[in-house]
Structure 1
Amino acid sequence: MPPILQAASQSIRDLLRTPGAQSFDECRLRNDRQSYVALSRQLVQAQFVLRDRELTTRLWQDVAHREMDLGRIINLLYCCASPEDDEAMRWIDEGYLALINRKDP
């Protein structure tokens, strides 16, 4: 097949590709973000509001057990002035994710 037809064929395949693969990645990212935001909010409540050492310890153990990104949790804890605001948390999280390489261990 001539190169021009191969390029056109690839373009058409890209346009016709089912949104399943893209939506799966988007869904995974959204669920991942929801987990990080929810746990960060619990940590804010336990660590800063209630000052409950036992609950805070259990939550940090949960973070370790789930092998979550500590930097991402810490970023959400300390960089977001209003953890109850979904949009603010999303914005802070996106900023962090833009700075890191997800392929790094």
Structure 2
Amino acid sequence: MATLQSVGRKILTYISPSAKEQSAYFKITRDISEAQFYLGNRFQEIYLWQEVADRDMDVSRIENLLYGCSFHDDEVAMTEADDDFMSKK
């Protein structure tokens, strides 16, 4: 009987710091978008904006993603909007 040699092994992948940062901006943007546009939950929106301030994130970058991208679930559209914004900074 053969045993699997790969049990318990994990494939490690490298994620660059800029990709991690972009992912964090996408997540907070999606959360704010949901609170503001879909749920209409002002308290959650205020909490999320406070998190942005606490993490010293770029507000203009988040606003660009909120209003410069029609579909926040579309990773490609978000990436294009963010890359365009960052190239102009």
Instruction: Output the CA distance in 2 between the equivalents of 1:81 and 1:51.
Output: 18
TM-score, with length taken from structure 1: 0.70
Which aligned runs of 4 or more in structure 1 are off by greater than 6 angstroms?
none
2:28 to 39, 42, 63: 39
CA distance in 1, matches of 2:58, 2:86: 11
**Is 2:39 the counterpart of 1:50?**
yes
Which is greater in Rg? 1
Which one has a larger percent helix, Structure 1 or Structure 2? 1
TM-score by length of 2: 0.83
Match of 2:87 in 1: 98
**1:61 maps to 2:61:** no
**Cα RMSD (Å):** 1.2
Name the CA distance, whole Å, in 2 between partners of 1:51 and 1:63. Answer: 19
Residue 88 of structure 1 aligns to which amino acid in structure 2?
Answer: A
User: How many residue pairs are counted as aligned between the two chains?
Assistant: 76
Q: Which residue of 1 aligns with 2:67?
A: 78
Residues 13-68 of structure 1 deviation map (CA, whole Å, 9 limit, x = unaligned): xxxxxxxxxxx8x7011000000000000000001110101000000000000000
- The C-alpha deviation readout for 1:46-104, integer Å capped at 9, x for no partner, is 0111010100000000000000000100000000001100000000000000010xxxx
Task: Could you tell me which runs of 5 or more consecutive residues in structure 2 were left unpaired when the two chains were aligned.
Answer: 1-13
Secondary structure at the aligned position of 2:70 is classed as coil
